[in-house]
Amino acid sequence: MKVSTGSTRPPQSLERPLRDARPLAFHPRVTRLEHEGRHLVVKKARGSASGSEDLARELRANLIASSARTPDDDPLCSAPLWYDDARLVFDADPGDMTLQDALTASWDTGHARRCGALIATTHTLDPHDLPTARPERPRLFPLTAEEYATTSDQSIAMLRLLEEHPEARRALESVQRPAAEATVLVHGDLKPDNVLLGPGDSGRPHLIDWELAGRGDPHEDLAAFLAGVLASSLNEHIRRSRADRPEEIARALNTSAAASFRYFALLMEGYRSVRDMEPDLDHLLPLMGSRLLCRAQSLATLSSQVGAVPTVLLLATTGMLTDVATSAERLRTVLTEGART
């Protein structure tokens, strides 16, 4: 593992607790443990031929980001306490919670501007020798034979529904390959799950999980964040409504889109306080739809059938991308009104 600070190993007294710690649910490579009064999080390398190399890439991105702070003195992330070729060990605060959990518990926009400054500060950093970022992309027809074998029946059913919306399908195809020419540091997986809020009223936000980071297009992070916020809002509205009634689904979609766009307007105010950039909405929205479809496919794969939330995420994607120009104008209006208030 080649990094500028040199490789270190956890102390001997920690080796056994690290071996015995149990992984988190749905995160088999992440464990939390308490050792000698200290709370720790451990991220393990993938069990593949490139696992150590991928972990080294994540470490390099993490170290670049951990050296920077926002104008409000918020750290972008924490550097690992120890690391080797197989794992990264971080200090943790048991009072931390993800932005995803915070939005689920209470739709609070109080962190939006600080998150915007956090993202913008990331985009001001030199990615040095990092390769191109690897943001997630959904599977689209046509699938190769190997993809068919590894794609769930539920995801295939969703792709068949997508075929009924050719305009949305073309918009998704237009961003299927990540842009390679951008040279800013992007996180690559900037969803609310990967934003931690510190304990207490201050709740300083910081970023975790730099596994997909690298050189890239700043729109990737903005789109992933907006998609995650919309998915959080939709999930909450669907949970509280009758998902079998079309009128309630339509209401949930419209309400969630409006709330998410307002959240994004606040986030962009924080972003512009650090970095002068107006997003290209005709480009941003297909990227956002791509991330929504990724989430829908993941949720569908976990279920024996295509449930309410994946279906509504697909409807949100097709509804937004069937007429990108109109959707972009709607978001542009919210951004303009947000800047005036």
pLDDT at 5 over 60: no
Final residue belonging to a domain, choices 64, 91, 118: 91
Identify the band that residue 242 occupies on the pLDDT scale cut at 50, 70 and 90: low
Is residue 247 located within the same domain as residue 328? yes
Q: Say if residue 195's pLDDT is above 90.
A: yes
Residues 79 and 133 placed together within one structural domain of the fold: no
pLDDT (average), residues 146-166: 93
pLDDT of 121 reads: 97
Indicate whether 2 belongs to any domain: no
Query: Does 177 share its domain with 256?
Result: yes
Considering the domain architecture, whether residues 86 and 189 belong to the same structural domain is answered as: no
Between 197 and 18, where is the model more confident? 197
Long-range contacts at 235-243 (CB < 8 A, ≥ 24 apart): 235/104, 235/309, 236/103, 236/104, 236/107, 238/308, 238/309, 238/312, 243/308, 243/312
ω into residue 279 within 30 of 0, thus cis?
A: no
Give a yes or no: residue 317 inside a domain: yes
Mean pLDDT of the chain: 89
Whether 250 maps to a domain, the answer reads yes
- 6 domain-assigned: no
Question: pLDDT > 90: what percent of the chain?
Answer: 64
Per residue in 258-304, pLDDT (tens digit) is 999 999 999 999 999 999 999 999 999 999 999 999 999 998 887 76
CA atoms of 296 and 274, how far apart (whole Å): 33
Tell me the C-alpha distance between 118 and 268, whole Å.
11
Band (pLDDT 50/70/90 cuts) for residue 1 is very low
Which residue is associated with the tokens 């699938």? Answer: 143
Name the one residue in this structure whose structure tokens are 């980071």.
213
Does one domain contain both 170 and 47?
no
Domain boundary (37, 59, 91) is at 91
* pLDDT at residue 15 in the model: 81
Q: Domain count for the chain, please give it.
A: 2
Predicted confidence at residue 250, as pLDDT, reads 84
The predicted structure's pLDDT at residue 172: 98
Instruction: Give the tens place of pLDDT for each residue, 13-56.
Output: 888 888 888 888 778 899 999 888 889 999 999 988 899 999 99
pLDDT attached to residue 45: 94
**Domain containing residue 52:** 12-91
- Distance separating alpha carbons of residues 170 and 323, to the nearest angstrom: 11
Q: What is residue 330's predicted lDDT score, i.e. its pLDDT?
A: 94
CA distance 206 to 222: 16
CATH number at 87 reads 3.30.200
Q: How confident is the model at residue 4 (pLDDT cuts 50, 70, 90)?
A: very low
Q: Is the pLDDT of residue 322 over 90?
A: yes
Query: Domain check: are 120 and 156 in the same one?
Result: yes
pLDDT given at position 10: 76
202: confidence class by pLDDT, cuts 50, 70, 90:
low
pLDDT at 2: 37
Give residues with Cβ within 8 angstroms of 311, minimum separation 6. 158, 296
